Structure 1
Amino acid sequence: MKNKSIAEIKQLLDQGSLTNSDISIIQHDPRKGVQQLWKSYQKKIEKKQALELRFTEMSQFEEKSYSSGANHIAGIDEAGRGPLAGPVVAAAVILPRNFKLLGLDDSKQLNEIKRNEFFSIIKNEAVSYGIAIISNQTIDEVNIYEATKIAMLDALSQLEPSPDHVLIDAVPLENVSCTSESIVKGDQKSITIAAASILAKVTRDTIMKKIHKDFPYYDFNSNMGYGTRNHIEALHKYGITPFHRKSFAPIRSEIIR
């Protein structure tokens, strides 16, 4: 170890194949480059430990359900309750018991690149998943809360096998054929709900980007239908699109005006 170059030491640190003796030598190596490598390595280890702890904390609802006899636990979440335009999307997912994805969290806490990466991993590794899309027309007919529940139940119905227990982000659901619990801010407390939130958000964002191509003035590719200043200004200038929710207050005022 003493005779190794900085590049060789970096390779060993990247591989993580160090003995206690190796670590001691690195810690006492006077070369500035080695000490910088060691500091970076320590930060990397600390970050991984924090992610491990976070994942364990977010697995508590699942572990409790497994301990109670459940084999297939579903998580449900939605994306798009608040926007002025576009559908509401719900996703339901059953993860394998040994599923592990460090960094998994509420979709809003992740950047787009990480969400898309996790989206693919979750779809590939899930026992089962379902995604439901409810249009803005239906939202106007039944209201956003009811439309959200319709989407959640639709997504849940797509799961095969059927779940033994369901974890839901915030919204209590009736007519579920198994036990369920509604968890406030569940996408920050449950890995299964967090996984569902990613499936829902990435799906909805993709839809809004497609709509943007036909209606570029509203910036749907960046605001995803939320009422940003540019979006509101475009409403005043160009009026509503077929994808706007006419039952939402700012849109109603534009129609009446």
Structure 2
Amino acid sequence: MWPAHGAGSACGKALGAVPSSTVGYEKLVNWAFQIDDEEKFVEALLDGQPEPPKYFAMMKKLNKTNRPLLTSVPQPRKIHTSELIEAMEKGVHVVDTRNKISFSGGHIPGSINIQDNSAFSTWAGWILNYEDPFILVAPSHRVEALTKALIRIGLDNIHGYLDDIEEVSGNGIELETLNQFNCNDLLTNKDSVYILDVRNESERKIARIEGSHHVFAGFLTEHVENLPSDKTIVVHCAGGDRSAIAASLLLSMGFDNVVNLTGGINAWIQNGHPVLAG
């Protein structure tokens, strides 16, 4: 047996990481084969599953159309500051793939932080528009792998890449920062801030911060009209990765009252602060 999807894919539940298996082995150890009731199987399969990414619908559409055969991975063009400025003036988006700490310390204004990790293509599919070109901020040695991950879900409209953020800051573009709150900051200011939980609904049912508001990160652009402009918005997820995406997205949309909760709700719990369940 060979898998249709790899571990971590949103296309299934608890997918294994082994490259091949046998029917006999799976019958012994696979959780799905231990359930012989259809309703219980469906309930178990759907329990705790995240929201299906937006790009699933686009992939279905693309899979039904003739697509050109790729015999090699396209090589995006390296661009420099002058080209970056010109592209951004034309509305080209910038996706910064650096880690969230580096992004917070200084990034191109208007850029979105989708980190180069195992969830990169999933969140690119949630956030990016298939019709719009975009620029990657990434080291040269990672561009091919990122390009391959993107074209696998049909995102092939890469305008180019920038590998040196310092070049930008040294050529007239003032870098923007993303402010951080730690758990003590949130505890001190809890009654005066707007806490935005961007996790899945299933995670929130297990534990949530009292008084927090919920908008899943992938749906954030559809609910910005409900966010306050007169309060600091403290964005959090489980550990800080998804909230970095969400906070950077809000910054790119003009919200200057956004901070990211370092360590997310996991750090909040580890520090002994109370949560609600259910």
TM (normalized to structure 1)?
0.24
Higher RCO (C-alpha 8 Å, min separation 6): 1
Higher percent of residues as helix: 1
Name which one, 1 or 2, has greater alpha-carbon Rg.
1
Give the TM-score, by structure 2 length.
0.23
